[in-house]
Every structure is written in structure tokens, then in C-alpha cells.
């Protein structure tokens, strides 16, 4: 399940008018696309588990410009296979990087911040992906005045169709926020929000991806029950979800309006929707978002 703290993939890194940036990606970053904006040095720290998801799509940044750091060689092998540089030294990432992503597990992050704190300077822009770790806590653990932002992606960033939100700390400027948003925009929707929305985003979108997979599985299994081959049913279910999402985004209509447009009096769709309502689908999904959001909050309090 793709839940709090899971990491995605990042798209074209557009430095715009900010000049040369050395990038340290502490976590799992894939789609490094510098376009026409010059050379980037990329670092990663914390390459295990979900951190492997985005590595296959490095884009236009040469693999030799990517520095991956992790405590064990096991987590670095895939990066080496891509031609990336590797290290076991977290401080090396700070020494070679200006934009630094923190995507360690939440319970590990305080120790990592204690280790790198002496190397963090005013030139660094720190972006944390640790679920539940507040900006207030990050600012307390980092040197005073550090430019820090908190970011939460979701799994479809891997295919440049993600949903990301971020909030900035006291030291981060409008330009810092614009830089981050530009860097991530090609991976999908990227919005700046109040920090209080980040845990809700985890429940809605980070974990919500798994809810959609479950619904797609149920759609396909229903078709299999009625005699359709499983592979065909899965493909049609996926395309149905993709098409519905595209119509929702492009039309700007409320979901209820589009749902009503599909229904005809006495037709197949209204009969199917009746069964979903009898099964309390709406309330169950709302409860799932609430439960995942609360868990994200709890993680931050552990």
C-alpha cells in the first residue's frame, strides 16, 4: 500500500532564472530532466523500499551526475546498475548539493538531521518528504533560518501523472516555492497548500491510489464473474478509470454532475449505482480517507 512517506518520481527540473543548482535528492527520484537549463548534480540519501520506484526513468540528467547514498550496498545496487555514483556518507550529499530532498522514514529523520546539521548552510534548500514530520519540528532540528519545505507526492509520479502538495517554512521565499513547483510540475499536479492539508493529502491521494486499485480490481472481478476474461476485464477497468478521471479534470464539472450525465431513467447505470449506495460505498470511502489522514497525524506524533 502506498501510504504516508511513500516516494514518487520527479519531472523536468526547470531552474528558470535561478542559475546553476546542484541537487541532492534524499530519497528516490527518477525523471531528472534538465531540458535546456544546464547541468545538474543530483544526490539521493535513503534508497531502500519505496525509494526504488522512480529510478528507472532518469530523463536528461546524466547518470554520472547522480549521487546516491544509503547505509547498505543492497539499496545502492540498482543505482550503480544505472551508472549513478554512490556513497555511504550523508554529509557528502550536502557538500555536493544545494537543493536537498529528505525522504527517509519519519522515525529515522531526526537522527539524519542531527548528522547533517553541521553541513547545512544558507545556500541549501531543504525539502522533506517524511510523513507526519511538521515544518516546526524540521525547523527546530535544522540551523536557524534554514530554507525548508515539506512535500508529499504520490505513486503515480512514477508515470508523470502524480498529485503533489507542498508547504514552506519560515525561511523559504516565494522564489524557493516557485522553483520547487517548476521542478515538479511535469510529474503531475503540484500545489502549494497550508501545512495542515498535507496529512489530508496523504489520506486522499497518497493512500487514495490504493483505494482506486481496489476499485479497479472489483470492477474487473465483477466482469469476470459475468464471463469476461480477466486480462481484458482489467484493461477495460483501468481505461474506464483513466477516461473518467480525464473527463473530470478537463470538464471542471462536479463529479455528481458527470455521474448524473451517465444515468438514464431505468437504465443499467442507475441500477448499478443503487447497489453501490446500498453497500455504503460513499461513506466507506470517506471513512478510509479519514482513517488514513488520522494515521498520518499519528505518525508525526510517534
Give the tens place of pLDDT for each residue, 150-161: 999 888 887 889
Task: Tell me whether residue 164 is exposed, middle or buried, using C-beta atoms within 10 angstroms of its C-beta: 0 to 12, 13 to 18, 19 or more.
Answer: buried
Binding residues: 90, 103-106
Return the CATH number at 113.
3.40.50.720
* C-alpha dihedral (10, 47, 6, 240), degrees to nearest 10: 60
Whether 265 and 135 share a structural domain: no
Asked which of 138-142, 160-164, 276-280 is least confident by mean pLDDT, the reply is: 160-164
Is it the case that residue 14 has pLDDT exceeding 50?
no
Decide if 32 contacts 42 (C-beta within 8 A): yes
Task: Tell me whether residue 250 is exposed, middle or buried, using C-beta atoms within 10 angstroms of its C-beta: 0 to 12, 13 to 18, 19 or more.
Answer: exposed
Whether 213 and 180 share a structural domain: no
Whether 32 and 173 share a structural domain: yes
**In this predicted structure, what is the pLDDT of residue 98?**
81
Better-predicted residue by pLDDT, 10 or 96: 96
What is the pLDDT confidence band of residue 123, given thresholds at 50, 70 and 90?
A: confident
What is the pLDDT confidence band of residue 47, given thresholds at 50, 70 and 90?
A: low
Binding residues for NADP(+): 103-106
- pLDDT tens digits along 56-109: 344 445 677 777 777 878 877 877 887 877 888 889 888 887 878 887 888 888
Average pLDDT (246-258) is: 97
Whether 99 and 51 share a structural domain: yes
Whether 188 and 99 share a structural domain: yes
Return the CATH number at 213.
1.10.3730.10
Whether 174 and 248 share a structural domain: no
Whether 172 and 265 share a structural domain: no
Domain housing 121: 22-193
Write the CA distances from 64 to 40, 54, 81, integer angstroms: 10, 17, 11
Query: In this structure, is residue 234 part of a structural domain?
Result: yes
Binding residues for NADPH: 90
- pLDDT tens digits along 167-206: 999 999 999 999 888 878 878 899 999 999 999 999 999 9
- pLDDT tens digits along 232-245: 999 999 999 999 99
- Residue where a domain stops, chosen among 162, 193, 224: 193
Amino acid at each position: 500500500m502506498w501510504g504516508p512517506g511513500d516516494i514518487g518520481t520527479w519531472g523536468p527540473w526547470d531552474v528558470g532564472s535561478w542559475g546553476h543548482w546542484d541537487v541532492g535528492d534524499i530519497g528516490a527520484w527518477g525523471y531528472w530532466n534538465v531540458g535546456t537549463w544546464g547541468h545538474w548534480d543530483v544526490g539521493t540519501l535513503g534508497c531502500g523500499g519505496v525509494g526504488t520506484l522512480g529510478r528507472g526513468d532518469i530523463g536528461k540528467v546524466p547518470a554520472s551526475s547522480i549521487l546516491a547514498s544509503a547505509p547498505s550496498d543492497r539499496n545502492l545496487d540498482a543505482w550503480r546498475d544505472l551508472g549513478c555514483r554512490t556513497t555511504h556518507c550523508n554529509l557528502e550529499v550536502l557538500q555536493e548539493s544545494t537543493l536537498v530532498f529528505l525522504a527517509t522514514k519519519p522515525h529515522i529523520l531526526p537522527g539524519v538531521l542531527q548528522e547533517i546539521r553541521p553541513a547545512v548552510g544558507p545556500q541549501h534548500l531543504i525539502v522533506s518528504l517524511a510523513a507526519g514530520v511538521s515544518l516546526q519540528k524540521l525547523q527546530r532540528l535544522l540551523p536557524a533560518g534554514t530554507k525548508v519545505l515539506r512535500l508529499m507526492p504520490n505513486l503515480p509520479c512514477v508515470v508523470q501523472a502524480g498529485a503533489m502538495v507542498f508547504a514552506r517554512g519560515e525561511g523559504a521565499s516565494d522564489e524557493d516555492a516557485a522553483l520547487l513547483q517548476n521542478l515538479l510540475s511535469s510529474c503531475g499536479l503540484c500545489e502549494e497548500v497550508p501545512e495542515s492539508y498535507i496529512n489530508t493529502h496523504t489520506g486522499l491521494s497518497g493512500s487514495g491510489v490504493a483505494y482506486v486499485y481496489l476499485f479497479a480490481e472489483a470492477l474487473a472481478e465483477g466482469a469476470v464473474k459475468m464471463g469476461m476474461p480477466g486480462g481484458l476485464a482489467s484493461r477495460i477497468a483501468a481505461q474506464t478509470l483513466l477516461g473518467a478521471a480525464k473527463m473530470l479534470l478537463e470538464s471542471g464539472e462536479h463529479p455528481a454532475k458527470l455521474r448524473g450525465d451517465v444515468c438514464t431513467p431505468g437504465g443499467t447505470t442507475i441500477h448499478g449505482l443503487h447497489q453501490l449506495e446500498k453497500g455504503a460505498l460513499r461513506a466507506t470511502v470517506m471513512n478510509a480517507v479519514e482513517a488514513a489522514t488520522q494515521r498520518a497525524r499519528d505518525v508525526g506524533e510517534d
